[in-house]
Structure 1
Amino acid sequence: MSRLDSMLRRFTAQRDGLNWAADQIAGLPGDVLDLGLGNGRTYDHLREILPERRIRVIDRVLQCHPSCTPPAEDFLEGEAEPMLRRLNELGARIILAHYDFGMGIKADDVAEAARLSPLLARVMRTGGLIVSGQPLVGFEQISGPDTIAPDRYLFYRS
């Protein structure tokens, strides 16, 4: 598979997974967390499909497209570990998280996801959903939409 086809497959899975998760949390209380702002495409999509929800974002630096900049009070800039601790101290309870951290080196990305999983668990509401590009630990893995290959995106319940 070409890198272009792989990217299109990933973006489609990400969109379909987030749309599915948004339907699953309808009527449940809690905020949304986007872990890894990047260019802001996913954040922009979350704003569109969940306009009534507060969407918090964690990333090392703010370098997204200007139209996708989160409000200052919802952007936690810095390394994920201290930002997740801060979010916990703020009392945030997340009903939907999107985990999109990664440098593209699979072994390193998997290790980071495992290391951050317990911190993510502390801010999740019981029964909350996590849509993730990396395997997480300590959560119940569930099936997502049938349109997504099992190895492309992962779905968890807290």
Structure 2
Amino acid sequence: MSRLDSMLRRFTAQRDGLNWAAEQIAPVAGDVLDMGLGNGRTYDHLREVLPNRRVWVIDRILQCHPSCVPPEADFLQGEAEPMIHQLVEQGHKIALAHYDFGFGVKEKDVAEAARLSPIIGSVMASGGLIVSGQPLVGFEELDGPEGIAPGRYMFYRV
């Protein structure tokens, strides 16, 4: 499979997975959390499909497309752990989280996702969902929507 085909498959899985998760969380109270803003594509999609939910964003730096800059109050700049603790301390609960942190080294990315899993769990609403490009630990893994290749994206219920 070409790198272009692989990227298209990943983007399609991400979009379809987020749309599926947005429908699943309808009865769950809480905000949305995008962990890893990057170019802002996912954030832009989340605010479009969940317009009545506050969308928090965590990233080390703000370097997204100008049309995807989150409101200053919703952008938590820094390392994930203290930013998630800040949300917890302020009493926020997350109904849907998207995990997209990564260093680009698979072993390092998997270890970081495992380390952050219980911290992410501390801010999640009961019954909330996590859509992740990395395996997380301590959550109920779901099959997610049809058509997404196993291991392409992972879906978890808290």
TM-score (norm 2): 0.98
The one-letter amino acid of 2:80's match is A
Deviation at 1:151, TM superposition (A): 1.2
Task: Report SS of the residue matched to 2:19.
Answer: helix
Deviation at 1:5, TM superposition (A): 1.1
1:141 partnered with 2:141: yes
- Aligned residue pairs: how many? 158
Matched residues in 2 for 1:89 and 1:119: separation? 12
* 1:41 has 2:41 as partner: yes
Deviation string for 1:11-67 (max 9, x for gaps)? Answer: 000000000000111132110000000000000000110000000000000000111
Contact 2:132/2:154 (8 A) holds in 1: yes
Counterpart Cα distance in 2 of 1:7 and 1:14 = 10
Counting only pairs closer than 5 Å after superposition, residues 72-151 of structure 1 correspond to structure 2 as 72-151=72-151
| TM-score, normalised via structure 1 length | 0.98
RMSD of aligned residue pairs (Cα, Å)? 0.7
Overall identity of the aligned pairs, in %: 75
Aligned to 2:156: 156
Structure 1 unaligned runs (5+)?
none
After the TM superposition, which segments of 4 or more aligned residues of structure 1 sit over 2 Å from their partners? none
In the alignment, residue 116 of structure 1 is paired with which amino acid?
L
Unaligned runs of 5+ in 2: none
